[in-house]
Amino acid sequence: MSEAKTIADFTATLPNGEVVSLADKLGKVILVVNTASKCGFTPQYDGLEALWNKYRDRGFEVIAFPCNQFGGQEPGSADEIAEFCKVNFGLSFPLMGKIEVNGPGAPPLYDWLKNAAPGLMGFNSIKWNFTKFLIDRQGHVVKRYAPVDKPAGLEKDIEKLL
């Protein structure tokens, strides 16, 4: 099998278990982020929602993947996560089904993201919640951001791609 080159080569699973193709994301600028509801970085949901609202009409999307691999900070079910995010942060961007981002349980999408944009000192693994990947309109990974990078700090990079 040839190595995937763009986000269009992958699928994601919705909270209800439905598998969807990411091919329809080509032509959009995408920010993929692994999230958690009980993390010190959880307030970044506000910033992610602000980015989504500011740029979505220009072809920008946020795709969030809840993950419980770091400190057990996303223990809830898909419904509980969605309710928490809606009530506490008014989220309107897509939340996918809960995943693992490291190890053998990680979906191929995350293996591709990590290899396309390695982290600090070339390490591929995701170190914590709210690691972000920016993808251009052609479906290529442009940049990886650390959990401490606040969403508002990504605006210049997003605007360049829009």
Q: Please, what is the average pLDDT of the chain?
A: 92
**Residue 156 belongs to what H/E stretch?**
helix 155-161
pLDDT (0 to 100) of residue 1 = 43
pLDDT, average across residues 8-25: 93
Using the predicted structure, report yes or no on whether residue 100 has a pLDDT greater than 90: yes
Q: Which amino acid is at 65?
A: F
Residue 65 β-bridge partners? 34
Q: Average pLDDT for residues 107-117, to the nearest whole number?
A: 93
CA-based nearest residue to 64, from 86, 54, 72: 86
pTM for the whole thing?
0.94
Q: What b/e sequence results for 37-65 when a residue is b if at least 16 CB atoms lie within 10 Å of its CB, and e otherwise? A: bebebbebbbbbbebbeebeeeebbbbbb
Task: With a cut of 70, say whether residue 43 has pLDDT above it.
Answer: yes
Give the separation between CA 35 and CA 44, rounded to whole angstroms: 9
Domains of the chain plus CATH, in order, are: 7-161 (3.40.30.10)
Catalytic, 39? Answer yes
Query: Which pLDDT score, from 0 to 100, does residue 4 have?
Result: 58
Q: What is the pLDDT of residue 79?
A: 83
Span 49-71, average pLDDT: 96
Nearest Cα neighbor of 161 from 54, 29, 8, 6 is: 29
Catalytic one among 39, 106, 113, 161? Answer: 39
Summarize the confidence of residues 128-154 as an average pLDDT: 96
CB 66 within 8 A of CB 101: no
